[in-house]
């Protein structure tokens, strides 16, 4: 294959950094452009330490800055789009979430057309497929099934619209007369070292006598290790660059899971943290149906107060369903089309993540010790 270059958006994020760490292993890769709005000194240093023949160019820029995106895409062969605002609790305004996740994707697609970038790989979300109700059970869901999220909450809705835009763009004509080819990957709940979701749970537990908060006692999901999600992106990149494999991948979406055992979110947190003395909350959980209707009442109060006061409920019906449903998905289609096999087994993924949790615990103890002195 000819020399090529790759732009990764959201490069400083949990997944973006891992993708770049695998990209440096790719043959004939001349340049990796790492685009993110916030590149910290630690991330910049981590990129500079990568042992790679390819040049790693760090770009600070906003996904909503059309001119920045056009410059970043100039001369690029592949775009891997991981940049997104992940917010299922409504901390950010709806407009902000929609702009970053949907409008940002549209602007990036337009930049690819203008810069004649032939390959676009989009990091979507399992939430594009649901769950829609805590009573609904999805077991080993397949891409061929008519699974679609019906929630209008900004995060799942924005990701659904973004994925539709990416897949609809497949086959469109580029400025130089070439053709844009796209695909989308839908990872499950991603865990692993550096997780921005697990880290605050651990830190809060360290301030509450080591008790882990409940995040989904009634759930049954198949979490996926960040290294395996990153690996799936690399395989999608290889596949779309391969003339023989590309036709079956173009315009397709893929669920990305691995061999992590199906379990609840609370089981996963307990497994990753118990070695360090952190334990699950043993108090009984309120019935789910009761919490659901309480969430409905809180949302009604929020709506009624909206003209005069912004009230954000502590939880919503969508959040309850998302964190307490039974839904697992198969990666068989990715296996067939992309040649995807998890790069890391469950035991290895668990060990790496547990060691990282240990580093958070030790860091916390070190901070307490220095304060005491």
Can you read off the two tokens belonging to residue 83?
């940049």
Measuring CA to CA, which residue among 56, 53, 45, 44 is closest to residue 20? 56
Say if CB 237 and CB 78 are below 8 A apart: yes
- Name the β-bridge partners of 224: 190
Q: Is 159 annotated as catalytic?
A: yes
Residue 317 CA to residue 313 CA, distance in Å, equals 10
Tokens 């999608």 map to which residue?
A: 236
Say if CB 126 and CB 329 are below 8 A apart: yes
Catalytic residue among 37, 53, 159, 365: 159
Burial 256-289 (b: 16+ CB within 10 A, else e): bbbbbebbbbbbbbbbbbeebebebbeeeeeeee
Residue 302: is it exposed, middle or buried by C-beta count within 10 angstroms (0-12/13-18/19+)?
middle
Tokens 């289609």 map to which residue?
A: 333
Say if CB 92 and CB 292 are below 8 A apart: no
Residue 117 CA to residue 111 CA, distance in Å, equals 8
Cis-peptide, bond into residue 131, ω within 30° of zero: yes
Burial 148-187 (b: 16+ CB within 10 A, else e): ebebebbbbbbbbbbbbbbbebbeeeeeeeeebbbbbbbb
Q: Which residues contact 210 (CB under 8 A, 6 or more apart)?
A: 277, 278, 279
Say if CB 182 and CB 237 are below 8 A apart: no
CA distances from 310 to 27, 85, 299 (A): 52, 21, 11
Q: Indicate which residues carry an active-site annotation.
A: 159
């Amino acid at each position: 294959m000819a020399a090529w270059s790759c732009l990764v958006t959201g490069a400083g994020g949990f997944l973006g950094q891992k993708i770049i760490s695998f990209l440096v292993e790719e043959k004939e890769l001349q340049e990796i452009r790492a685009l993110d709005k916030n590149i910290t000194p630690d991330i910049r240093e981590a990129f500079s330490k990568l042992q790679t023949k390819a040049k790693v160019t760090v770009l600070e820029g906003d996904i909503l800055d059309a001119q920045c995106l056009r410059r970043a895409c100039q001369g690029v062969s592949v775009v891997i789009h991981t940049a997104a605002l992940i917010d299922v609790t409504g901390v950010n305004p709806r407009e902000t979430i929609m702009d970053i996740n949907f409008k940002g994707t549209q602007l990036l697609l337009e930049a690819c057309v203008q810069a004649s970038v032939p390959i676009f790989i989009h990091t979507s979300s399992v939430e594009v497929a649901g769950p829609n109700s805590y009573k609904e059970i999805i077991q080993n869901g397949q891409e061929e099934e008519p699974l679609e999220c019906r929630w209008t909450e900004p995060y799942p809705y924005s990701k659904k619209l973004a994925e539709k835009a990416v897949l609809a763009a497949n086959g469109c004509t580029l400025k130089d007369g070439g053709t844009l080819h796209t695909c989308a990957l839908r990872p499950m709940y991603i865990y692993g070292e550096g997780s921005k979701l697990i880290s605050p749970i651990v830190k809060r537990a360290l301030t509450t006598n080591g008790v882990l908060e409940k995040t989904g006692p009634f759930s049954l999901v198949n979490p996926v290790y960040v290294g395996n999600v990153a690996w799936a992106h690399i395989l999608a990149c290889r596949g779309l660059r391969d003339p023989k494999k590309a036709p079956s991948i173009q315009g397709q979406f893929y669920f990305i899971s691995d061999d992590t055992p199906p379990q609840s979110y609370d089981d996963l947190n307990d497994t990753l943290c118990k070695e360090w003395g952190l334990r699950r909350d043993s108090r009984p959980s309120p019935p789910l149906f009761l919490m659901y209707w309480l969430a409905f009442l809180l949302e009604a109060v929020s709506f009624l107060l909206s003209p005069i006061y912004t009230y954000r409920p502590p939880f919503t019906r969508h959040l309850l369903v998302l964190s307490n449903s039974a839904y697992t998905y198969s990666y068989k289609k990715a296996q067939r089309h992309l040649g995807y096999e998890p790069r890391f087994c469950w035991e290895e993924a668990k060990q790496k993540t547990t060691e990282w949790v240990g580093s958070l615990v030790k860091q916390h103890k070190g901070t307490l010790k220095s304060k005491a002195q």
